Structure 1
Amino acid sequence: MFKKPLSNLKTSAPLRSSDRRKLKQRVITAFNLQAEDGDVLVPDGIESVKFSTHLEEPGVAYLSKEGDPLWFTIGKGSEDLIPTVYTLWKKDDLLPFLSTPQMVIPVLTGGADLMIPGVVHHTPGLPEGSLVSIHQFSLKEGKTQLSVPLAVGHMAIPSNRLTAGGTEKGKAVLVAHAWRDHLWEMGSKPDVPEDTVLGEQKPENEGAKDQEDGDEVTPVPPSEIGSGEPSQEVSYSTQEVSELLAKSLLQAISTSLSSAPPSAFPIPATLFYTNHILPSRPAFPTLVLAPSSHPDEADKIHVDPQEINIKASSHKSLTAFLKAMDKLSLLSLKQPQKHSQQPDSLVMSVNAKNPLVLGHTSFPTVRDIETKAAKKAAREEKEKQGENSHELVIRELWKPHQTIVDLFKGLGGDPSSLYTPTEVRSLIFDYVAQQGLINKADKSYIDLDELLRSPLEVKAGKGKQPQAIGDFIKRDELVKRIMAKMQNWYEVQPPGKDPVQKKGQLKPIQVVTKIRQGRKASTMITGFEPFQVIDGEEMAEDLRKACAGATSVSPTVGKAAGSSLEVLVQGKQGKAVVEYLTAKGIPKRWIDVSDLSGKK
């Protein structure tokens, strides 16, 4: 949702007392909270700001006095309040939860949804569409630990479909917001709180207390985390590690190795182990083989796949393991000859028709998780370069100018750089935090030091003293005044091309329908040149064919010769023109349509 910067970001405005009370009541009712919890999660001085996502979805964010986003909604008129990570860190049991291994978290923070094989724990009884938080599940010093919530989203499927032992595929959670995304970056970006050892703290989420009927084993609900004694170290015996390595070999043979050509062999034993067996280890080992120390808790615990290795097995050496697999006729092993320059054993072939291979049940592997992460990263990079979309990337920018230049130097910024509003805000508030300038009496105000005060002073007429500014100012008013003294720039990047930056304020393309030449209506298009992808003559010809009407091209009245053109299309063609412009990659918010022809 927020994998790209927010656009069309308006200036935040404080909520009136009555609106703040309404918002608090919505939160208390929606999440079944006590009044005191509502005061913490909807604090005094809360502000609202409107924005658009990179998909042009309108939204509203609610910010604390310090500028941290606490809640947000997506969609015009939406009443679906979603807590941010900042809010979930204040009350981490606000939502029912799912947990996922550490290796999956970077994938989620990069903008991906949580897939079914990535779920380790989950609250039972979750219907499709319910709001949930996502925690990181990890092993540290032999203890299983759960992080604070690092993402929030809606269930893509009911939770009863998550108990299929890893055989089900598809999305588990549609992630709406995650730690370190662009919504998170708007705030103060504190350090992540420490993980909680499972068994040391009992979450209080009432929605997690429902138990599923019958004897069916389900992933651990929050009400069971913390019950009883602190959890013991979970690990596999050496024999169990050997069994998992054998299953990893079966996985490799039944997938990649079964289709390998004969020319791919022989393979040195070390490379065979590194390139085929290790990547084929189960990503979630306990769902493949329950540890003997916890035979009935396979879906409640997690063992790091990295613990499955030759040194931790009963074989202790790679050669001994491969010899055992050779005896099972899973592969053919050739030992090195004495005095040979090839000291490593060679795997000469594998037996894909072995009954053990044919009866093997596939599972999600370490390679699967790593491949998905790599594909996601590549796709994100491709989108950044504009190669995966026909739509133009347009950014409104501001540059330090005149009196603001020294201010940006003092803030630690580069006065020659161009900035987005979010970057300006972050630069100012980082300086404010470092210098301790938040007003102690009212945190919605900032105490002005000499650096911040100087560029805000209003110059008086000739022979008069400049009008001094007070000792403190509202946070948003400070940002507003500083940006008002900056120079407007914009950046347009057509798909597959380098961005073009120009000075000035970018204005939308004007599509105006008027009555011309008596009672005939015509549609005029102007202001398209800055968008880099439209030629006036070409557009006139294309619209002539699309609208089956006459078109013309002429210089824009009142503009310098050769600087701007206007395209005229016969008839009321506003809809057709908008379709043409969006097909060229112009976002709809950069097209201003007006009909001045009146009703007929």
Structure 2
Amino acid sequence: MFSKAFRVKSNTAIKGSDRRKLRTDVAAAFPALSSEQLSELVPNREELNLVKLYAHKGDAVTVYANNRNPVLFEMEKTFYPTVYTLWSYPDLLPAFSTWPPVLQRLAGGADLMLPGVMVPSCGLPPVQQGTLCAITLVGNRAPVAVGVATMSTAEMLAAGMKGKGFTVLHAYMDHLWGFGDKSYPPTIAPLVAEPAELESTGDDDEKGLELDSNLCIAPSLQMDIGNLSLQEGDGCARLMEEEPSETGAAEMAEDIAEFQPEMEDGRTPQDRMDELLHQCFFHALKCKVKKSELPLLTSTFLRNHMFSCCPEGQQLDIKKSSYKKLSKFLQYMQQQKIVQVKELNKGVESIVDIDWKHADIRSFVVPEVFSAVSTAPESKCGDGEQLYHAPEIIPLYGVSAKMAPLFQESGHKKGSILSSSDVRNIIISYVKTNELVDETNKNFVKVNPILCDCLLDKWEQDKISKLKWDDLLSRCLEQLQPYHQVTFFGHEPIVRKGNLDPIDITIAQRSSNKKVTIIKNLELYGLDPQLVATTLQQRVQASATINSLPGAKDRVQVQIQGNQINHLAKLLLEEYQLQRKYIQGLEKAPKLNRKK
């Protein structure tokens, strides 16, 4: 349900009376909670928020957050605990165990199939169809997912542990988990020893491995777990059982070991990703980046240089490294005095200097697996164009002091930042709550004293007693402070005050009646001015330069000979997929000569 980004409708603090009602409802939903645990989950004084959101499929969900961490979510008047809550109360729900490689599929929106459920020696927990259950990983009692059983335990066993077992609603690493502090699951020892590890027979000539004697599966339920493979279909990962082989238990156990993450060299996946990150970083500095490209946007450096240095068959994912973010990794490299990073624009960092004489760069050896094409410096910018992702831009609105009385009822104070849909919903709720809809004509809203002070000018206050709905909403948006949110590919959203300046294109006259095209504000949209200049220069065969932007510190503008707006429009609109409303000056393009 939360495998994709959701849209937040509102985020308000819960009042005292609502807390008491919530505590009563949670106690009825989870009778296993003691009074002390209930007070911890729904505290009296700590920060507790009610977040209304829409999932990517349109489901309306209410989330209750305690100190920013979502602890409960409610759908169709049914409460569900999040993984944050289950880590504190691991015995709140009946738990079923699966293998670690399945977790990534669950976080991606997959349901849990019965062949992926581990059957312990003590048997499966007794549940009925529709029972809310927790899903854990073998060897750790900390739940990593919350799901609803599609059949009873007896039906699971009767079906030979085949088919879909659980409809997964929420999992560790999905977007609801990301709404909190993104902490990792704790390590909670299982109550009963589980066969999480396989023991070697000690014979090097035999490749057989024996299963732990604690794993006792009924003969009717025995299957070749090693031949289980993950497949995606209709939004759920299916564990498909292939034809059983004729090998014995030893070969079956060997396949199970291959099914789990390999760590023969003693390194964790995070250590390996750190090593790959360092390799791509030094490879890019040594073979890709030129001094003429500086200052270089950090996003461009990652997208155009580091990704191209990743060996074939591997994928660079900074989130899986110990650094988690590119900014933290570059900050570490800056402490090592390898690169120098500055925030030339608010929220946008650039590499401004590189010490190519640094011992770490000079001693780095390019891996032999790279072909001559991948190790050669980039002479074409086409690859960079294809890798560019237009940023997601969302207009936001801040509650000003003048508008604070109007938003006070909804729990928003001065400085609260809202989306246009949030503003619309709050205004509609305010009008209906205060019964301001005109009885004679529902297209009009009666202006009460608060609306009068917030939305009307002094000369209008004695003349206007009603407003149309559209006029009411447009006046409200005009009175709020403009903000905007920019989300660059692979980065956290950035919220800035004011409206986002468009890419400004102008035509200037130079000596000898020559025209030049000047482009400003490319950096605000994650575009590398040097890359844009080089691309245009190659396409139109005209000289292009980068100059300092007058009146702006550490900002540059691209200048190219002639009126090149038609070529620039094709580049920005068609290839970079930027919206026309964020580009200013396209109307100055020269008219194309029509052939008779």
Structure-1-length-normalised TM-score? 0.38
TM-score (norm 2): 0.38
